[in-house]
Chains A and B, each alone.
Chain A
């Protein structure tokens, strides 16, 4: 019998994940021992410090290219870049999560278990401070995402998937206002997420049957060498892809997105739209580029159809939305389609442009949800679009910021959205995927329409009786907004440094 021995672990390389998991555990501990009054500040500072520390380690480790933990974790250019992106976007989301200036007690409910509408619920709605468990939960989610983009075998990837999904399901249910909607969203997300996970896991089993291993290296080699029936390979790849496309919100696995984006507390929606997207596409990139690149010719047309469908559904349905959060959800779906176009370029350019897109989109989308948290009335956020009419007259600054964000989503030049789209479409064309680019260009023209409709509504309509005022953001939200808007502008005007960075990071280790 072989000796069982622990695999060698490069602790420096995995330090960012260890730090964050550690911080999250300490956070849970704090919930038990700290007095209630001290928890929020402590938790927030702890989480932010942990994220900053993890980011510093990533920067310090930026030249690391290793397989570690027995080949289960790959720390390479894409991993480090995407981990860095997740942390930076995570910090922004955490700033939104931590803000309590707009609403007494913050955006989160104090005790989610209290029955909605009961006497106790009414009491907690006005009196209690929001739950502080959200901070360790958020850090757990972010740490899981870090592991997800680093996972070098399918099982680690699955574990990471669950680690970052479960906290998100919980976080979705914690809205202070409209609690039923929030709980419904969480339940839907959980059920469908579990469903998608099952697909993923089944796919892993099938691929294991084909390759005799779950490491991407093994799978890559077995594509040419294995004597097993390729039915296992293809069915397995299809199911793994389904699991990942679910998280990425690609059609027809996007169905949860509008409901969940609408129901979840807005800061959490921001976290999902930015960080989950990075993680999902990070995982998808590694699966397709490292594990299954040998069958690229076979999956490109199928995933191409998925991409086209995703772009079409996202763009067309965005046109008819009347709720700003649902509108942004459909826009997020369409963006998943554009990202898929980049992924399917299946080249170094495809990898680097997709990574650029993820970062550019992440900054913009968090800022967008940041603005959504500001527009509110006595009942909380006013998300119905008719309520945004005439916002430009009431508060030109925030309407101006939101206009800029929408222009970036629409891909108008001199915003990061234009460069990002240009880069992914350019990469796809270079790889001969002209049909995807044609659909991409056409749908993005289409998608510009709902965005501009909002712009026109904000600036050119008279404010109605029901136009809410815009709350003055607390320092934390303001910081997140500034970061998001400045990044959107800078990446649009001078994208060269980040493009260089993504290009130099665009090499997987196998």
Chain B
């Protein structure tokens, strides 16, 4: 089982870890409160604050490396204290939060920089950077908290910021609807998470990570299962996993840098963080792990199948995010050494997915905000930098060696084949097929966008490359896409041992030899990519073509929206209508009916129609009768 978890108290330089959060937060406050006065320089303040946080994060990172016990806790003040409930406003800086801090602030600074150029002509740029900084602060709080309540606060904070940012271009009704959808689906997840925290508190009397993890062994297995499932519900909501995956692609209505930062690189990985952070809970119950693995495997397939059928560049990328996070869930579900693999994939994904989104943004920037890949083609000649960086990120995501995706994804496929029994075949093969399909649709995207004949709309004659403030981040991210995976695959798992446990000594056997799996994954990748190239190198039809049932289903997001509508929306609307009806009219109608029956004749009815007080009184009387009856029933033992 798990060793005892112990955190040292932060001292020296590390006792100022809170600055990481405070700096972007202060910047957000300045940007939002100063109003128009900050319009001229506000965006640079926004970039600088995240940059400073990144430098600080690096400093803390090296400081942490020098320590023996690589996990330090910092309690800022007592936050909530009611009876036996005690919650610290406390931070935890350990290897896991350290890598997340570097990802959030590192990729975050690049995206902030890019947004300076991307949002240049937008009147709300200062406000945008205010929300953006707010998001970064909340995300940092999420990964730096030392208890589940802190995590929850950050969780709500990023949700709120993402809601504001998705709806940022509210003049588009679709943006407002998307914001609403994201909000509602996230609330479902959040409710699960909140109940999990309460359950934790009821069972263990605490929400501090160390106390929860040390005490989880004593909790009944069924309770751990429920707690874990509720946490998983929260994680699926935030990370766009099955069954709550439908909001993420719609969230692409926001400005592209938002998609890159929130819906690709950071926030959507919060679910993976939650599960990795709570690894002692998930490890404690095998059923729970199987559920997580299933969610991951199912989602990665859903994501890449739908990805094949979409024609909107950002939506394809969004579904690929869903699918890649599916790989991460698969990893954290497999447990043991695979936790670290999932985190490696998460970090690598942060680079290449940010690169892909920003590249897409750059394409849109040059193409009058066109997002339909059927309307691109031949762009490589006009946007060399975008083409090259996007190409590297594309090769990285499909997992071609020696780019980073290979080093991060292939180990997860191997780990899936290392499960015991027949499920190894099931999950391993799902992951393998996913790799092939990913290669197919990403290649389709790349080829249709940058190669083949021009299929532009008439209003575009000469697309232009983006300004340096946008291309420099692209280049840096491309470097990350190339190198990050290989570098991290060897170092990060060791580094994460204090947070995720040491699994190096565990013996595992894959159902196939390691070499064979690697070879297979490269073969399916090449097959997928080759097929897509062959099919799409000469372009594609400009309109949606009639298609068979499978493609139609994929175009309709595998009917997830229809399902949600039928299962949640319709009954919800019905319930609301019914309640409104009862509250306003029902009782009155009842009384009117009674009066008519008793007195007869409409004149009498009219005389009784003095207003609604009577019906209110009737409703109170009904309630009163029920309450009194219930009490008496209890007393007479009918209900007991």
Contact = CB atoms under 8 A, between A and B. Distances in A.
B550 interface: no
Contact of A238 (B160, B202, B631, B639): B631
Contacts of B472: none
A500 B81 CA distance: 8
A184 B616 CA distance: 13
Interface stretch (B186-194, B359-367, B434-442, B448-456): B186-194
A414 to B, nearest CB: 7
Interface string A440-479: 0110011011001000100011100000000000000000
Given A449-B187, A456-B179, A413 B157 contact: yes
A158 interface: no
A462 B171 contact: yes
Interface string B603-616: 00000000111001
A442 B576 CA distance: 15
Nearest to A350: B83
Interface residues of A, number: 77
A396 B179 CA distance: 21
B5 to A, nearest CB: 23
Contacts of A356: 82
Chain B contact-residue range equals 35 or more
Chain A interface helix/strand/loop/mixed: helix
A407 B78 CA distance: 22
B622 interface: yes
B498 to A, nearest CB: 28
B212 to A, nearest CB: 15
Interface in B580-627: 580, 583, 611-613, 616-617, 619-620, 622-624, 626-627
A423 B85 contact: yes
Given A192-B617, A413-B152, A452-B183, A231 B83 contact: no
Nearest to A321: B580
Contact of B631 (A237, A425, A430, A503): A237
A445 B82 contact: no
Contacts of B199: 429, 434
A423 B176 CA distance: 34
A496 B620 CA distance: 39
B620 A252 contact: yes
Given A425-B198, A460-B170, A503-B82, A313 B179 contact: no
A255 B83 contact: no
Contacts of B201: 426, 429
A242 interface: yes
Interface in A176-202: 184, 187-188, 191-192, 195-196, 199
Contacts of A115: none
A329 B268 CA distance: 36
Nearest to A443: B191
A192 B163 CA distance: 42
A500 B79 CA distance: 12
Contacts of B630: 238, 302, 305
B187 A419 contact: no
B631 A234 contact: yes
- Name which of A253, A306, A347, A460 has the most chain B CB atoms within 10 A of its CB: A460
Given A234-B634, A298-B635, A445-B187, A191 B617 contact: yes
12 contacts: A188-B612, A196-B620, A230-B635, A242-B628, A313-B583, A413-B157, A423-B82, A426-B83, A434-B198, A445-B187, A460-B167, A499-B82
Interface of B: 35, 77-85, 149, 152-153, 156-157, 160, 163, 167-168, 170-171, 176, 179, 183-184, 187-188, 190-191, 194-195, 198-199, 201-202, 575-576, 579-580, 583, 611-613, 616-617, 619-620, 622-624, 626-628, 630-632, 634-635, 639
Interface of A: 184, 187-188, 191-192, 195-196, 199, 230-231, 233-235, 237-239, 241-242, 246, 251-253, 255-256, 259, 298-299, 301-302, 305-306, 312-313, 316-317, 319-320, 347-349, 352-353, 356, 396, 407, 412-414, 418-419, 422-423, 425-427, 429-430, 434, 437-438, 441-442, 445-446, 448-449, 452, 456, 460-462, 494-496, 499-500, 503
